[in-house]
Chains A and B, each alone.
Chain A
Amino acid sequence: MNTRLISHEFEYHAPQTLQKALELLSRYGPEAKILAGGTDLVGHLKFGKRTPAHVIDIKKLAELKSISKGTVIKIGAGNNFKTVQDCFAGSIVYAGLYESIYSIGKTQVLNMATVGGNLANGSPKADTAPPLLTYDARIKLVSLNGERTLDLKEFHTGPNKTVMADNEVLTEIEFDALPSHTSSAFEKTARVGADISKITCAVTVVREGSVCKSCRIACGAAAPVPMRTPLAEEMMSDKTVDEELIDTVALQVGKEIKPPAWGRTSQGYRRHMVAVMFRDGFWRAWEEAGGEK
């Protein structure tokens, strides 16, 4: 495979407003692909995995670059990883999101790739998906026909598949601000530091004294889509935290994920590692939230 150039030919559009981008998408439908950071799409163009007749560049759209942190936290989908990482640096509550981006690490990729693209690409391995799932994040999809907001957990439908229609743009990710005494953590196993994830686990813990009010758990590269583990979460709800409980829940997380039988990482390894990572992530978040081990 030649990675030196792109042999596929296409027309390039750089609309100046979201409205213009939506008009182009509406006109070209399935023949168009949205270009944001390009770290996925340009590779796909080289390998012939995607062969759009039209590429619509939304990277510079100012409408997709706002971030606001009030009772609802809103992140414009066009913000690159670097901006989002800086925005949540030092946060105890949203440490999971920060750590998921930090784990990607590569300076150049953080400058290029967008948080919207990470989700819209539909990868079950998307590093920002698990922490956002534990924040009960919602996403906003906009088309010429209007806009709709849906839960992130309903967004992914299979490997590289989402509910997004050809004429839609993912414009914003939002979630309700979490209460105090909350912390989150993200754990990742990859072959080498900057590699694509083998398995990831995000944990968001709400503490009240020695009781875990709620613990939300989400895993990436664990199933055809990024997923929550509701049975394991139920076992944690309103429970006094001790090591035995966490060890039991860790095994449940391992049972609950649905890793594929194929791929670079075996099912058994993923089930084992996700339990280890849940334990590590939980205790880190618990201690950050002011709890004791």
Chain B
Amino acid sequence: MEKHTIDLTINGEKYELRVTPNELLVNVIRETVGLTGTKYACGTGQCGACTVVVDGEPILGCLTLAVTVDGSEITTIEGLANADGILDPLQEAFLDTNAIQCGYCTPGMVLVGRDLLQKMPNPSEDQIRHHIKGNICRCTGYNGIVRAIKKAAG
């Protein structure tokens, strides 16, 4: 299988990577690049744990061939805190409202929550719940997560 060269900008850093066509974006980010904040869970697009933001839109890393995002700008959960390690306000809100238990869904939840706040600065509870519909959490019962997104919205 012929390898392809792809250029990615991940959290502001440029990468030139060699990938085979059947490599999944989630695996390239976790294993080739070494950013393990992005999680692999169901592998079938049900749970949202593998969410990364590609060219401004959250997508599923487990259903994306890495070769198809050549030239893209990608943000993973590691890209939210600033250079001094100061967390994004939504990450702070997750901590404040105990929106985390095992933490496996958290990177995806935060990225999707942030996407909502960028598009809709003051969402209702229904709008929050609808926007995170593609992200499954098996610990918190979602209430803490909804509270966190509300809190970050101010």
Contact = CB atoms under 8 A, between A and B. Distances in A.
Question: Which of under 10, 10 to 19, 20 to 34, or 35 or more describes the interface residues of B?
Answer: 35 or more
Interface string B75-113: 000000000000000000000000000000000000010
Interface stretch (A106-114, A119-127, A171-179): A106-114
Contacts of A107: 58, 112, 115-116, 131-134
B131 A112 contact: no
A108 B65 contact: no
A10 B142 CA distance: 40
A112 B60 CA distance: 8
A11 B60 contact: no
A255 B44 CA distance: 35
Contacts of B74: none
Given A108-B59, A108-B60, A4 B43 contact: yes
Nearest to B21: A12
B22 A109 contact: no
A105 B116 CA distance: 13
B45 A109 contact: yes
Interface stretch (A42-50, A134-142, A242-250, A270-278): A42-50
B62 to A, nearest CB: 7
Contacts of B132: 107
Interface string B1-26: 11010000000000000001111100
Contact of A4 (B4, B40, B112): B40
A61 to B, nearest CB: 13
A111 B4 contact: no
A188 to B, nearest CB: 13
A62 B91 CA distance: 36
B76 to A, nearest CB: 14
Interface residues of A, number: 33
Interface in B34-93: 40, 42-45, 48, 51, 57-60, 62-65, 67-68, 70
Give the most central of B20, B21, B70: most A CB within 10 Å. Answer: B21
A194 B133 contact: yes
B17 to A, nearest CB: 14
Contacts of A112: 59-60, 63-64
A194 B134 contact: yes
A108 B134 CA distance: 7
B65 A105 contact: no
Contact of A9 (B1, B62, B64, B65): B1
24 contacts: A3-B44, A4-B27, A5-B22, A6-B24, A9-B1, A9-B20, A11-B1, A11-B2, A12-B67, A38-B64, A42-B65, A82-B57, A105-B130, A105-B133, A105-B134, A107-B115, A107-B116, A107-B131, A107-B132, A107-B133, A108-B48, A108-B60, A112-B64, A194-B134
Interface of B: 1-2, 4, 20-24, 27, 40, 42-45, 48, 51, 57-60, 62-65, 67-68, 70, 112, 115-116, 130-134
Given A10-B1, A35-B68, 5 more contacts: A4-B43, A5-B27, A11-B1, A39-B45, A108-B58
